[in-house]
């Protein structure tokens, strides 16, 4: 897929000298859903605001569809829709008018058919004549998306689209995002919710302290970083791991009723056959075997934790 947003060595120091972005390089591919994960204050909003031309970069460049966001900002900005974190709508305005106004802001010709398409896509068509104040929180969020889509952008940024919404609304939002992707819109979303990235993203970027620690295909990331655990449940609890079984990969559960074996799914040998033979040879009797794959959450916690500890950068495709 061709690159649609090209971010090169982007730096942002706020007044007072605080560096919120420390040289971020990232190529966003046309048609993908990229989730940017990061703890509070990591620089996600700063990154989005800088790409969208709301915040001026201190150094580095961003192009959108080949247009520089500083020197050719009008053309770059016309390709971008931004759904901000906070709901900031005019309460007495009608839905259709607020969306129409957004389109006008970009100098696009009035086109009620285009607005109808957007409102229908977001299940807002039957609310088009409602005042914003009469809408539920979920609908207001959808109005924000409709406004961001009113000028037919190719790239949509969603800053924390589901912060504070319930599970059902979150799933609605995921469906909307999937529908937009099917329409060919490139989507970049920031989120604190790891399950959100796991559910909808094609690629995942992890940001911490103004640096992009990695960006990688979700499936590859999970395969590369994911470890598996085998829980060997015993018929009789034990107090300690027998000497013959001692290994770094093996721990005893707190209640002594299970041995927990960590192994790498990419390794040629997992060591499971030998482990089970050794367990039997040590006179332990198996009650059951359970395997568990580490989730994206485990991977994320490991990454951000490692970064805090040692400032190590992690390998992966397209690392800044």
Ligand X SMILES: Nc1ncnc2c1ncn2[C@@H]1O[C@H](COP(=O)(O)OP(=O)(O)OP(=O)(O)O)[C@@H](O)[C@H]1O
Q: Give the residues lining the site for ligand X (CB under 6 A).
A: 14, 18, 20, 38, 40-46
Q: Which is nearer to ligand X, 157 or 261 (CB)?
A: 157
| Cα(121)–Cα(99) distance, integer angstroms | 13
- Name which of 43 and 53 has its Cβ closer to ligand X: 43
Q: Smallest gap, in angstroms, from Cβ of residue 311 to ligand X?
A: 17
Q: Dig out the tokens for 106 from the structure.
A: 């970009």
Strand order in the sheet with 286-293: 250-252, 258-264, 227-234, 286-293
- Residue 308: CB atoms within 10 A of its CB come to 11
**Half-sphere exposure in the Cβ direction for 93 (13 Å, CA):** 14
CB-count burial class (<10 Å; 0-12, 13-18, 19+) for 105: exposed
The answer to whether the CB of 89 falls within 8 A of the CB of 144 is: yes
For residue 180, the minimal CB distance to ligand X (Å) is: 22
Which residue lies nearer to ligand X by CB, 196 or 250?
196
Distance CA 152, CA 108 (A): 9
CB of 290 to ligand X, least distance (A): 35
- Beta pairing partners, 227: 264
Q: How far is the CB of 210 from ligand X (least distance, A)?
A: 7
Q: How far is the CB of 213 from ligand X (least distance, A)?
A: 13
User: Between 44 and 147, whose beta carbon lies closer to ligand X?
Assistant: 44
Cβ nearer to ligand X, comparing 75 with 163: 163
Residue 125: CB minimum distance to ligand X, A:
32
Q: Which of 233, 215, 212 is nearest to 224 (CA)?
A: 215
Contact of 99 with 131, CB cutoff 8 Å? no
Q: Which is nearer to ligand X, 41 or 91 (CB)?
A: 41
């Amino acid at each position: 897929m061709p690159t649609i947003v090209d971010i090169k060595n982007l730096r942002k120091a706020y007044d007072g000298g605080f560096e919120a972005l420390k040289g971020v390089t990232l190529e966003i591919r046309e048609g993908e859903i990229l989730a940017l994960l990061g703890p509070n204050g990591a620089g996600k909003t700063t990154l989005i605001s800088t790409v969208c031309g709301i915040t001026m970069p201190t150094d580095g460049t961003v192009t959108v569809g080949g247009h520089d966001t500083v020197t050719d900002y009008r053309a770059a900005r016309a390709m971008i829709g931004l759904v901000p974190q906070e709901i900031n709508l005019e309460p007495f305005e009608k839905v259709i008018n607020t969306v129409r106004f957004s389109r006008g802001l970009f100098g696009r010709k009035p086109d009620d058919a285009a607005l109808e398409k957007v409102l229908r896509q977001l299940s807002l068509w039957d609310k088009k004549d409602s005042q914003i104040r009469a809408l539920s929180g979920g609908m207001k969020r959808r109005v924000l998306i409709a406004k961001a889509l009113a000028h037919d952008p190719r790239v949509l940024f969603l800053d924390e689209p589901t912060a504070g919404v319930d599970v059902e609304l979150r799933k609605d939002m995921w469906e909307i995002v999937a529908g937009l992707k099917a329409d060919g819109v490139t989507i970049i979303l920031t989120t604190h919710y790891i399950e959100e990235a796991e559910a909808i993203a094609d690629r995942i970027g992890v940001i911490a302290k103004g640096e992009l620690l990695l960006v990688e295909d979700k499936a590859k990331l999970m395969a590369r970083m994911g470890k598996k655990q085998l829980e060997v449940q015993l018929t009789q609890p034990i107090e300690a791991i027998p000497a013959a079984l001692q290994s770094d990969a093996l721990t005893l559960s707190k209640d002594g009723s299970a041995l927990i074996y960590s192994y790498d799914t990419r390794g040629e040998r997992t060591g499971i056959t030998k482990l089970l033979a050794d367990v039997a040879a040590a006179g332990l009797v198996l009650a059951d075997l359970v395997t568990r794959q580490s989730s994206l959450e485990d991977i994320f916690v490991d990454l951000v934790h490692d970064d805090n500890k040692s400032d190590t950068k992690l390998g992966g495709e397209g690392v800044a």
